Amino acid sequence: MNFQDVYTLEQALNLAPLPRLNTAEDRAEHAERHRRLLVAQEDKRVMADWRQRHPEDVAYEQAYWARRREEDTQRRRASRLDRRRRKALANAQSDLVAAGGRSFFTSNDEQWLDIWLSTSDDTAEDDSGDDDSDLE
């Protein structure tokens, strides 16, 4: 052992890093990860080969996802427009009541909650809108 100021084996063992134990479980885990890596690499190669042999499938898939993105965008736009309309109606009713008028909403109508709707346009293009993150 090459420790300058160590005089006993016990002191050297305390300073040296612990040995790596290679158990059967470690070897099995390593083999499983290696198999998964090989499968992933082969899958990548086969998909590249498929794309070369069947360009019409690739074009169909790209068109499908473009259509889905457009439909999602239209759905998000319609949802935002509906929220804006509902919020404007609720705000108008609130202003009417504040001015001493009478609302056509009942006192326990859920439409009063539309006053608190978020109507911001700051959604990302790739936002799927599934997580309701635009409701605050």
Helix 55-98 and helix 24-53, axial crossing angle in degrees, nearest 10: 100
How far is residue 134's CA from residue 79's CA, in Å, rounded to a whole number? Answer: 11
Entry pTM: 0.47
Q: What is the pLDDT of residues 29-56, one digit of tens each?
A: 999 999 999 999 999 999 999 999 999 9
Stretches in the chain below the pLDDT threshold 70: 1-3, 112-113, 116-117, 119-136
- Domain-wise residue ranges, the chain: 27-116
Calpha distance 92→111 (Å, rounded): 12
Which of 82, 81, 92, 134 is CA-nearest to residue 115? Answer: 92
Q: What is the pLDDT of residue 135?
A: 46
